[in-house]
Amino acid sequence: MATFPVLKVEIAFVSNPLDTAPTWTDVTQYVRHANGVDITRGRSDPWSHFTAGRLTLTFSNRDRRFDSLYSAGPYFGNLKPGKQIRVTCTWSAVTYDLFRGFVGTWPQEFSNAGKDATVTVDCYDGLEWAAGTTLSSEPYGTALSGQVRLRQADTSRWDDAADTYEPDQIGVAQVGPSMVPGITGSQSVIFTGSNWYDLNKGFTPAVNGLSGNADNALSFWITTTATTGPLITGLTTSSTTGTQVTLVSGKIQWFGGDGGANTSTSLSSKIINDGRPHFVVIQAENNNAIWPSIYIDGYLDSLVSNSSTGAGVGGGNFVYVVGSDSLRSARLPSTILANTSLQDVAAFGTSHYTAAQILSLYQLGLGYAAESSATRFTRYLDDAGWPATWRDVTTTPAATVNTLVYNNQQLITSLQELESSEQGRIFVSKSGNFTLHARYFNQDVTRGNTSQATFTDDGTAFSYRDFGYTQDDTDVRNDVTVTNTVGSSRSTDSTSITANRRRSETVNTILSTVDQRQAMAAGLVVQWKDATVRVKDFLVAIPSNWATFLNLEIGDRITVKQTPMGVGTQFSKDLIIDSISWRITADFWEMRIAAAPVTPNGLNWFVLDTSALDGADVLGY
């Protein structure tokens, strides 16, 4: 009689869905094994995205312990959708994960004329959670989190980000859309020459405005066609000393003065009154005594013109007024800026940005962040609130991505877009971890480049109970178009099109460069232009070595062998696991594996000035 591992089913009734150290309750004794425990995880083919893993099992509910309406039940009040569930098994004192995810529903079912009660739960893993999760936050706003800044605008007010301070509004406000696609959490404020905002009510408590003699910074987005006029001005509460940011001849100027003969002026070299959005940062760095540094659109303006009279003035003042001139005794319409919009005016006075942070903020505002697929994977999961301890992230990503505009996009959509860009795998492991495999996982990583198990009909390794293979055009792709946000690249193979008919595929990515896009299109055609042997999903027989068997995971390389009808030579092929399914009852355990061909044509790399490569050369992507 076959010996099976010991199955265990646990539910975290009293813990929240994303608790990383939940309190587990063992409910194995209530599992109706006759109904079976069914687990399915994976995808249908290498060109498809991974779908949510599923677990289905039936609990006996004769004592109503799984009934959410039964107040005397041991789990009453905690029979809620989203509770964590895990299925494990033990073999030779070692525990192996089979599934970890969340309970979807607790349906009450009655049969045998009401003499039997069961609950069949459908459970899902993190990919289903991702399908119901929206990336609603804004990377730019997150990067500025904690800084004092004006964000929330409408026709009657312009509040700071935390909604704790409302500056005085003078004149009728006009509010416009965000200047740039990467900023979705705020609106722009339009200045008409008759409106401004007085911030002298504690907008920057204990935070000085721009000061030339201490580390601090002032940043804002601006769109203007004005030539001259005040943008942001500051004044100390006890003297006439003040600072001012203005437009002079369409350029950004910083001015510091003490009301007398001592002044300092810095004038940028770049003209910004072209009606396009610009990101401006003015900051004192490393105790620069007089002049601040000015950054325009992410980069330091090294051609700034600095001048001073008398001893010069570094500043040390509160940000005071936006859209007018607080250094003058009367605020007349002629001194107020018009034809200008400002957005996200931010100030902090105990530190300053690094050059890298300034460039990053500029790119985030534009909806752009050039980073590896692994960094983006982490960014997405961080934004969605998925625990950091529930992730397995590749350390060798191949793709560099850029576009970063959420627009309330579902997390699953963003992850699938990223998966296409990396040409790797994004799935949830049997232990419940969001997993990113790099493009060359099956060449660089042991589990991908070395067979983890062999399945054969000759009795020398694991056996199978059914087996089949085919050679057709299921996986053939001889016309591939790869897109990113700026365009598309197409690659074809005429010989394959003639032999196999046209087999087209469009891969939508967020790759950061045209070179990556072109190389991917060419590389995919070379890899998939020819028909290859595809092994049908197969049912594995009861193994003699459960440890190896239970260790298998999506992405693992395996070997299958067969001598059809004992005729001819043995068929042997390496495959990559695309899906794993379990059917477990009291009497038997069944595992079904679906696997895809290893990159059919291998990876041929184009090397300059050499003909050492055998076969077609293609630029490695």
Question: What's the CATH code of the domain at 336?
Answer: 2.60.120.200
In a domain, 575, yes or no: no
In a domain, 411, yes or no: yes
DSSP 174-199: EEE--SSTT--S--EEEEESS-EEE-
Nearest to 429 by CA among 204, 213, 583, 579: 579
Asked if 111 and 150 sit in the same domain, the reply is no
In a domain, 558, yes or no: no
- pLDDT over 80 (residue 403): yes
In a domain, 462, yes or no: no
Q: For residue 492, what is the domain's CATH number? A: 3.30.1920
Asked if 383 and 429 sit in the same domain, the reply is yes
Which residues on neighbouring strands pair with residue 235, listed in sequence order? Answer: 242
**In Å, how far from its chain's centre is CA 171?**
42
Q: Residue holding tokens 């003297």?
A: 239
**Contact call for residues 9 and 31 (beta carbons, < 8 A):** yes
Asked if 64 and 151 sit in the same domain, the reply is no
CA distances from 187 to 222, 401, 407, 449 (A): 12, 27, 15, 51
Q: For residue 383, what is the domain's CATH number? A: 3.55.50
Mean pLDDT check: name the lowest of 136-150, 406-420, 431-445, 591-605: 591-605
**Contact call for residues 594 and 42 (beta carbons, < 8 A):** yes
In a domain, 186, yes or no: yes
CA distances from 402 to 109, 182, 265, 314, 367 (A): 50, 12, 37, 39, 8
CA distance 48 to 247: 54
Asked if 144 and 234 sit in the same domain, the reply is yes
Q: Predicted confidence band at 511 (pLDDT cuts at 50, 70, 90)?
A: very high
- At residue 392, the 3 state secondary structure works out as strand
Asked if 229 and 306 sit in the same domain, the reply is yes
Asked if 308 and 412 sit in the same domain, the reply is no
Residue 335: the pLDDT is 72
Structural domain including 524 reads: 476-530
| Amino acid sitting at position 544 | S
Total domains, the chain: 4
Residue 156: the pLDDT is 78
Of 331, 365, 399, the domain-final residue = 365
**In Å, how far from its chain's centre is CA 239?**
49
Nearest to 251 by CA among 307, 188, 309, 301: 301
In a domain, 481, yes or no: yes
Residue 206: the pLDDT is 38
Of 328, 346, 365, the domain-final residue = 365
CB atoms within 10 A of CB 478: 25
Asked if 276 and 145 sit in the same domain, the reply is yes
* Encoded tokens for 78: 């905690």
**In Å, how far from its chain's centre is CA 338?**
39
**Contact call for residues 475 and 45 (beta carbons, < 8 A):** yes
CA distance 426 to 429: 9
Of 365, 380, 414, the domain-final residue = 365
CA distance 505 to 529: 11
Asked if 238 and 378 sit in the same domain, the reply is no
Asked if 163 and 206 sit in the same domain, the reply is yes
Residue 608: the pLDDT is 44
Residue 380: the pLDDT is 96
Write down the mean pLDDT value for the chain. 87
Phi, psi of 357 (to 5 degrees): -65, -40
Residue 251: the pLDDT is 97
Mean pLDDT check: name the lowest of 130-134, 168-172, 294-298, 452-456: 168-172
User: String of b and e for 284-320 (b: at least 16 CB within 10 Å)?
Assistant: bbeebebbbbbbbbbeebeebeeeeeeebbbbbbbbb
CA distance 576 to 598: 6
Q: Predicted confidence band at 148 (pLDDT cuts at 50, 70, 90)?
A: low
Q: Predicted confidence band at 438 (pLDDT cuts at 50, 70, 90)?
A: very high
pLDDT in tens, 236-289: 544 566 778 999 999 999 888 777 788 889 999 999 999 999 999 998 776 556
Which pTM value belongs to this model?
Answer: 0.88
Asked if 232 and 316 sit in the same domain, the reply is yes
Of residues 34 and 611, the one with the higher pLDDT is: 34
CA distance 104 to 125: 10
pLDDT in tens, 66-92: 999 999 999 999 999 999 999 999 999
Residue 50: the pLDDT is 97
pLDDT in tens, 529-563: 998 888 889 998 777 789 998 999 999 999 999 88
CA distances from 200 to 142, 203, 287 (A): 26, 7, 26
Asked if 179 and 243 sit in the same domain, the reply is yes
Asked if 385 and 499 sit in the same domain, the reply is no
Average pLDDT over residues 158-181: 81
- pLDDT over 80 (residue 348): no
Average pLDDT over residues 329-348: 77
- Dihedral sign computed on CA atoms, order 80, 83, 88, 94: negative
- Strand blocks (E) in 51-91: 51-60, 84-91
In a domain, 565, yes or no: no
Q: For residue 73, what is the domain's CATH number? A: 2.40.10
- pLDDT over 80 (residue 469): yes
DSSP 559-615: EEEE-GGG-SSPEEEEEEEEEEEEEE-SS-EEEEEEEEES-TT------TT-----S
Q: Residue holding tokens 């409408």?
A: 154
Average pLDDT over residues 491-502: 95
171, 174, 175, 180 alpha-carbon torsion, rounded to 10°: -110
Please give the span between the terminal C-alpha atoms of the chain, in angstroms, as a whole number. 52
In a domain, 201, yes or no: yes
**Contact call for residues 65 and 31 (beta carbons, < 8 A):** no
